[in-house]
Chain A
Amino acid sequence: MPRAPIKSMQNIIDQSVNTIRAAAERKVPLHICGGGSKEFYGNHIIGQNIDMLDITAYSGIVVYEPAELVITARTGTRLADLEAELHEHRQMLAFEPPHFGAAATLGGCIATGLSGPRRASAGAVRDSVLGVRMLDGKGDDLRFGGQVMKNVAGYDISRLMTGSMGTLGLLLEISLKVLPLPPVELTLSLQMKEADAIEKMNLWAGKPLPISATCFYNGALTLRLSGAEAAVRAAHTKLGGEEMAEGAAFWQSVREQTHIFFQPDKSLWRLSIKSTTPPLSLPGQQLVEWGGALRWLISNADVDAETVRAVTGAASGHATLFRAGEPSAARFHPLAPEMMNIHRRLKEQFDPMGILNPGRMYPGL
C-alpha cells in the first residue's frame, strides 16, 4: 500500500489542530468525518454553522510487524486496505468490523466501536485496541496506551475513546492487536426453533468447542467453526448439522447487513442483552447473533422506543435504534442520571468548548 511522506502527514495534523483551535475559539461545532459509511449511525450533530473536519487524507499504515501481532495505522486508512494488508500476512482484525461501504475508514470503525460476527468468541473492537494518538478539543496532540499487548501505565484512555463517537477527540492513529487467520473455517446449519437455538448457543459456548460465530434466523441456527482442520472436523461430528457451501458469503452478509433479513427501508433496532434471555416478544422480525447476546429487530413504525427499551432493560441490556426512517428519535439507550453526570464531566475535560461532534451520542455530550 502506498505510504505518504511523513511531512505531508504532519501538515494534515497541523491543519486539524488549527481547525480545532479556530472552532474552539468561535464555539463552532465540528463534524468529524471519515468515509461517511456510518453516517447513518447515531444522532445528528447539534448546533449552527457546523464545519466539517475531514480526516480521510490522514491515511496509511505506520507500522506493521506481523510477528508482533500489532498494527498501527492512521485513522483515514480505508478499512478494506488495512484488512487486505493483514490478509496478505494471514492475519485479521479479530472483531470482524462491519464496513457498511467501501469508503469505511479505521477511524470510523474505532469511533463507532461496532464489532461483527466473531465478537462473542474473539472480543469487541475495544478488546483489540492497544493505543491511540489523538487531538483533544483544545487541539493537543496526545498519545495513550502503546504498541504492546500489556500496558497498565495511566488510565485506559485508548479504550475510553473506542465507541465514543468522536465526542472526546479526533482520533489520529490506532494501534491494534491482530490475530492469525484460522487455518480452516466451516459453517454448519441446523434446523430448530428460536428458543432451542438460544439454549444450544449458550450450552455450546460453555464447552471447549471452536465456535467462532452464531446466527439464528427463520428456523435455522447457523454456526461457524474455526481452527485446526482436525478440531473443526471433530466439532462438526459432535454438533451435527449440515455443512453450508457458501459459509463465508453468509457471514459476510450478516456482518455487512446485506442478508435478506435486513430490509433497508424499515427501522432496525440493535438489542444487546444477556445471552440466556429467551426469545423476546416484540412486534417485527428478529435475527439472533453473538450466542444470544445480540438480537436485531426489524420493525414497522408501530413499535415505540419505550417498549423496546423496557423489554431490553429487563433483559439486563440496552437498545440502540441502529437505522431509522425517522430522524427525530434518540438513537442510544438513555443513561442513568449519575452515569450521565460522569459522561458530561468527562466531555468537559476532553472538549471544554463542546465542539467535537456535539450531540452525536447524547444531547449535552
Chain B
Amino acid sequence: MHPLDLVTDLRTFLPLEAVLYESEDLKAYECDGLSAYRQMPMIVVLPRTEDEVIRILRICYTSKTPVVARGAGTGLSGGALPHATGILLSLAKLKQILEIDPVARTARVQPGVRNLAISEAAAPYGLYYAPDPSSQIACSIGGNVAENSGGVHCLKYGLTVHNILKLRVITMAGENLEIGSASLDSPGYDLLALMTGSEGMLGIVTEIIVKLTPSAEKAQVVMAAFDDICKAGNAVANVIGAGIIPAGMEMMDKIATRAVEEYVHAGYNLEAAAILLCESDGTVEEVADEIRRIDEIMKKSGAIEIKTSRDETERLRFWAGRKAAFPAAGRISPDYYCMDGTIPRKSLAHVLSGIERLSTEYGLRCMNVFHAGDGNLHPLILYDANQPGELEKTEEFGAKILGMCIEAGGTITGEHGVGIEKINQMCLQFSNGELKIFHAVKAVFDPEGLLNPGKAVPTLRRCAEHGAMHVHRGEEKFPELPRF
C-alpha cells in the first residue's frame, strides 16, 4: 500500500496530530535508547484508545504493513528501532492508571504509564510496584512487559514476569486476548510468561494488571570497599551463603567508582578495587538483625572500609553513586556502550579479568557495574564514535564479552533484551532446533511476521552467515547449510 493511502486510511479515525509522516516529525522516533542504530519509520501513529490500536492493526494486517511498538523509547537493545516500510506504533498516549485496588494490592494500567508513576499512585496506600529499572522515571510499563525488565531489587522482589497478573493483548489480526487474571493462576498454558519479554513480537499489550507490594518499614544499606575484586565477589557469595537475600546487592569496579565519585560525591573509597552496596529492607527488627549480620560478613570477607547508612538521606546518597553510573560514563567519555550479560556469580573474577584483557587488546576503557546478587553484569565500554573505526571495535569487544558470558554458563542478556543489538549472539546461545521453536511460537501469534520483523530471534540463514563460527555443545551448527 502506498504510504499516503495508509495515512488517509488512518486519518479516517485518528486526528491529524496522531498520524505523522513528515520527516521532521518522524526524526524523534528514529532510535530508542540504543542510539547507535537509527532508522526512520514510514509513519508514526499515536493511538489514544485500545479501539484505535485494534483499527490500526487491522489496517496494517490487511495491507501487510510491518508494525513496531514503542513505549517511552528508553530500551537499550534497539527493540523499538523502526522499520523503513512500517508503522511505528507509539503507545505513549495510553497512559491512564485505570484502577488501584489497595485491598487486593493490584493496579490496572495502560501500557504508556511510566513505571515510577504506578508506585507514586500506590504510595498513599503504603504500596509500590517492585521492579525498578534504572530508567524508571521515564520507562513505560508496556515496555517493561515487552522486555521483562528487572532493576536493582529483583533478586528479592523478582522481575516484571513475577509482578504482573494479567494482560490484554491485541494480536496482529486485531483479535483481543485476555491473558492471566486477577487471581494467582489461570487455566491452560502460561501465556502470561510467554508474552512477558517477547519484545513486541507476539502482540500489542493494551492493559496490564500489576501486583503491588507493601512498602518496607525500613531500608538500610551497607557500603563496603575491597582492595581486590575477588574478595568482593567472595563477600557476595558469603552473604548469600549465610542465608540472606538482600533487597539489593550492587558492585562497581575501580573505574566506575572513580567516575561516579567525581560526579556525585557519594563518599566512595577511591582506593578500592571494588565497592559493594548491600541493602536490607523489611520490618525494623528484620533490618536491624540483617544489617548486623551483613556488617560482620563484610568484615570477615576482608573489606577495607565499611559504612552503614545512618538515615534515609545517607542511604540515598550511597545509592546515588550507583544510579549515576551511566551519566558518569557519559561525563568521562563521548560515547559508551552498555552490555547486559548474566553469569553465574562464581565466574565473576574470571569474566572480569577477561574483560580487562580485552580492554587492553582493543585499547578501549571499560567500567563495570554489576547486579551482584543475580549475576547481571553491565560492562560500559567507553569509546568515541567520531574516531573512525571505534564503534566497530567497540561492538567487536562487546560481542566477545557476550561470548564469554555464554561460555561461563550465562546468557547474552539479563534484562535489556535482544532487540536488534544482540541478534547475532542469539546464534551462539541457541541451537538450530531451539531457534526453530522460537520462530514457531512467533508464527502461532503472528503468522505473517508483521510484528517487529527482524528483531529478537535471528533467521537460521543469518546465523549461518554470521561470521564467528562457534562450536555449540560439541556440535557444529547448521551442518545442512552451505558455508562461504
Contact = CB atoms under 8 A, between A and B. Distances in A.
A276 B101 contact: yes
Given A68-B344, A154-B438, A342 B444 contact: yes
A151 B178 contact: no
B184 A90 contact: no
A143 interface: yes
Pick the most buried of B162, B182, B241, B283: most chain A CB atoms within 10 A of its CB: B283
Contacts of A162: 190, 193
B280 to A, nearest CB: 10
A164 to B, nearest CB: 5
A150 B187 contact: no
Interface in B454-475: 456-457
B376 interface: yes
Interface stretch (B38-46, B134-142, B221-229, B424-432): B424-432
Interface stretch (B4-12, B85-93, B295-303, B406-414): B406-414
Interface stretch (B109-117, B354-362, B383-391, B415-423): B415-423
A343 interface: yes
A51 interface: no
A123 B158 contact: yes
Interface stretch (A21-29, A203-211, A239-247): A203-211
Contacts of B429: 153-154
Interface string A132-145: 00001000111110
A143 B185 CA distance: 25
Contact of B245 (A150, A168, A179, A342): A179
A159 B288 contact: no
Contacts of B456: 154
A227 interface: yes
A143 to B, nearest CB: 7
B32 interface: no
A202 B343 CA distance: 38
A155 B438 CA distance: 7
A231 B188 contact: no
Nearest to A157: B437
Contact of A343 (B126, B189, B373, B412): B189
Contact of B437 (A70, A150, A350): A350
Contacts of A153: 411-413, 418, 422, 426, 429-430
A123 B416 CA distance: 23
B220 interface: no
Contacts of B125: 206
B104 to A, nearest CB: 5
Interface stretch (B194-202, B256-264, B331-339): B194-202
Contact of B189 (A90, A151, A164, A210): A164
B320 to A, nearest CB: 24
Contact of B344 (A140, A143, A147): A147
Pick the most buried of B104, B154, B290: most chain A CB atoms within 10 A of its CB: B104
Contacts of A113: 185, 190
A150 B415 contact: yes
A95 to B, nearest CB: 11
A332 B186 CA distance: 10
Interface in A306-340: 315-318, 320, 332-336, 338-339
A68 B346 contact: yes
Interface stretch (A215-223, A252-260, A267-275): A267-275
26 contacts: A68-B344, A124-B184, A126-B190, A142-B433, A143-B434, A148-B376, A150-B374, A150-B375, A151-B413, A153-B412, A153-B413, A154-B430, A154-B457, A155-B198, A159-B190, A159-B194, A163-B190, A180-B244, A206-B105, A208-B214, A228-B286, A229-B289, A233-B285, A272-B183, A294-B184, A339-B179
Closest 9 A-B residue pairs measured CB to CB?
Answer: A159-B193, A180-B243, A150-B414, A149-B374, A349-B440, A230-B285, A316-B182, A231-B286, A317-B183
Given A148-B343, A149-B373, A274-B183, 18 more contacts: A67-B237, A67-B346, A136-B437, A144-B437, A148-B374, A148-B375, A151-B342, A152-B197, A152-B415, A156-B148, A160-B191, A163-B189, A163-B190, A168-B189, A272-B184, A318-B181, A318-B183, A343-B189
Interface of A: 65-70, 90, 113, 119-120, 123-124, 126-127, 136, 140-144, 146-157, 159-160, 162-164, 168, 179-181, 183, 202-203, 205-210, 227-231, 233-235, 272-276, 290, 293-294, 315-318, 320, 332-336, 338-339, 342-343, 345-346, 349-350, 361-362
